[in-house]
Structure 1
């Protein structure tokens, strides 16, 4: 591969936000393959990829540009969006879908800050998927614009690496942009969720109900991703996790609600809980629920599927202790030391959903409360324990 093409791959790989962009696009659209490609007159090169279809492309791999629809995007500077190739008058007989075996597809042009064409944000799937919805199209263009801004930010950061203050300003602007994007996504997400709720009430055909429920689950998943990004951005920009601290005398009900919701999402799993009544804390109940939800989701994903996940809460000796444990392979000390870093995943986690922010946010919530998170892993059991000191006793 030419040195110039390698540089383009490195440019995209250097952008820390790219993995979460690809994850969010895949969650939003339902496509199994999403990538960022550099496209020239005679080359198509993968720069970053999320591949759940075993398509086989890795960063640095090339395709014959004449076999791709990205060539059309390059020549026209316009997006290509296909819901169903077989029903498209323009693309039903096109050679590209036949070569790569897809039915749904999008390709959004990505430009540099000076207007030069870089390549595309594109995705595909062998099944038809509705991609031409205005909200989806608008959001995909926002992500393409974000990649463009990230390219510009990274290039400027590299050119001014010796100027620490300039680097700090660039990083802050980047996080601000992500925060604005996450905020703006909440409105269309709310519309999607509301529309799905209305459809669930109106749809008479039982065969369509699973489709409606899938839309609702996807909207909830997207909302969760946006919330994680917003929490992460606040932490990176120095404001930290926001708390609404108050005296809460129904902590047990808050925790039990989270557990019930997770049981509903994972009916095949056993979740054993020991939570006494009358737990009372000075805390942010919503954040405490988020902390437990993230810990429980982590245990369900990474614990042995055939064994229970245990939750234990207690208040004694001036401390509140909440522990979530699962059975599975022991974690090495060096892995435990990395668990609470943003976007970090062990090799065993490569297939898991999410952005790699769940445990980072758990740690930030614990710190914001003045507590701490400890991890132990031995004898086939891993436990995450949240401890909050100086807890006032419950008055009787």
Structure 2
């Protein structure tokens, strides 16, 4: 995204300290008109004005640059300071004092930090004022340096804002692309899975069945990745996870189905379950199954193969609790703080599959149900605990 370049007036007006600078300069010098002007080869534009003379100039108003002394400052890149026009050998017959009716005047060049000329800090008054003493000149120059630094800060801030907006738009386009890609992959993946199932039904040859089973496992794994990506983009793009909330009687049976499925996929691992019988929950059954499935996959992949994985689920005092615990080294608080973030994967087991979205989606499902995920790790075990109200809100 390309933002329009701010005008010189906008740049100066964006500096919060400018009004105070003009007031301080006016009080210090005694001049009743002070302004900051943007000066180019053929233009003079007021950017900020303090006018106690009712001169009538406002921010954005132009002057004919040839009628000003700022033109001389631009060309010489040096200050012009006049205490008393009538006593000045150089300026007493100059056309600018006659046009604007001043006797005292200063114009100090303002440069951007890269050396480019911006314009001037200038002031005038119909009465003569002592401006040329060293302290006054030095202070005025300090004010122009302050303005220059503020201009650079505002410029850098503007670039940062533009970069942020550009990055945000790029991220949204990327997520839209991923969502569309994920959606369009579902159909060919379904065909691959159906083909694998057909081969398993029609062929008894061991070598053929081995290939078909490998195709089916790979297609299921790809389908799970696609679903994770689609869920992720829904959450990130503001639509949120789709929920179909209803009262689920026999929720314990639904949870046992997930445990049995993961046990069959990991026959070498032990999953111990303690799920309260007869559970009734107000939830989205599919999302609840997905939440437990993601937690179990995480425990099986990242937990110690030497320890069983424990699943505990119950309702106490109207609160449903689902806890999955695995053995293994304790996780540091820094790692725990990252676990629910998208695309973040622990390095506990090299070559582990997935995009790092499983736990992020778990957190999104928990939030969508009005619940939360808590992670604890100590004494050689790590637990993910999901809690939510068991019944619908009144």
User: 5 Å matches for 1:1-396?
Assistant: 162-389=162-389, 391=391
| TM-score normalised over the length of structure 1 | 0.57
**Aligned-partner SS, 1:223:** helix
Please give the alpha-carbon distance, in whole angstroms, between the structure 1 residues aligned to 2:169 and 2:356. 25
**Aligned residue number for residue 85 of structure 1:** none
* C-alpha contact (below 8 Å) 1:250/1:280 kept by paired residues: yes
**Aligned residue number for residue 63 of structure 1:** none
* C-alpha contact (below 8 Å) 1:193/1:216 kept by paired residues: yes
**Aligned-partner SS, 1:386:** strand
Q: CA deviation at 1:391?
A: 3.2
Please give the alpha-carbon distance, in whole angstroms, between the structure 1 residues aligned to 2:347 and 2:383. 19
Larger Cα Rg: Structure 1 or Structure 2? 2
Deviation string for 1:92-145 (max 9, x for gaps)? xxxxxxxxxxxxxxxxxxxxxxxxxxxxxxxxxxxxxxxxxxxxxxxxxxxxxx
Q: CA deviation at 1:276?
A: 1.7
Please give the alpha-carbon distance, in whole angstroms, between the structure 1 residues aligned to 2:380 and 2:204. 49
Deviation string for 1:42-87 (max 9, x for gaps)? xxxxxxxxxxxxxxxxxxxxxxxxxxxxxxxxxxxxxxxxxxxxxx
**Aligned-partner SS, 1:337:** helix
1:390–1:251 distance in 2 versus 1, CA, 3 Å: closer
* C-alpha contact (below 8 Å) 2:249/2:281 kept by paired residues: yes
Q: CA deviation at 1:371?
A: 0.2
* C-alpha contact (below 8 Å) 1:312/1:324 kept by paired residues: yes
1:161–1:352 distance in 2 versus 1, CA, 3 Å: farther
**Aligned-partner SS, 2:338:** coil
**Aligned residue number for residue 70 of structure 2:** none
* C-alpha contact (below 8 Å) 1:318/1:391 kept by paired residues: yes
**Aligned-partner SS, 1:321:** strand
Q: CA deviation at 1:347?
A: 2.9
Q: CA deviation at 1:207?
A: 2.2
Q: CA deviation at 1:250?
A: 1.5
* C-alpha contact (below 8 Å) 2:315/2:390 kept by paired residues: no
Please give the alpha-carbon distance, in whole angstroms, between the structure 1 residues aligned to 2:169 and 2:329. 42
| TM-score normalised over the length of structure 2 | 0.58
Please give the alpha-carbon distance, in whole angstroms, between the structure 2 residues aligned to 1:208 and 1:288. 36
Please give the alpha-carbon distance, in whole angstroms, between the structure 2 residues aligned to 1:169 and 1:301. 35
Q: CA deviation at 1:390?
A: 5.8
1:160–1:195 distance in 2 versus 1, CA, 3 Å: farther
* C-alpha contact (below 8 Å) 2:275/2:312 kept by paired residues: yes
Please give the alpha-carbon distance, in whole angstroms, between the structure 2 residues aligned to 1:179 and 1:185. 10
1:390–1:202 distance in 2 versus 1, CA, 3 Å: closer
Q: CA deviation at 1:173?
A: 1.6
Deviation string for 1:315-365 (max 9, x for gaps)? 011100000001110001111000001111233244211111110000000
**Aligned-partner SS, 2:227:** helix
Aligned length, in residue pairs: 235
- Cα RMSD, aligned residues only: 1.7
* C-alpha contact (below 8 Å) 1:319/1:389 kept by paired residues: yes
Please give the alpha-carbon distance, in whole angstroms, between the structure 2 residues aligned to 1:324 and 1:196. 33
Q: CA deviation at 1:164?
A: 4.0
1:169–1:230 distance in 2 versus 1, CA, 3 Å: same
**Aligned-partner SS, 1:348:** coil
**Aligned-partner SS, 2:384:** strand
Q: CA deviation at 1:168?
A: 2.6
Please give the alpha-carbon distance, in whole angstroms, between the structure 1 residues aligned to 2:206 and 2:390. 54
Please give the alpha-carbon distance, in whole angstroms, between the structure 2 residues aligned to 1:392 and 1:172. 34
1:316–1:216 distance in 2 versus 1, CA, 3 Å: same
* C-alpha contact (below 8 Å) 2:241/2:368 kept by paired residues: yes
Please give the alpha-carbon distance, in whole angstroms, between the structure 2 residues aligned to 1:233 and 1:313. 29
Q: CA deviation at 1:205?
A: 1.2
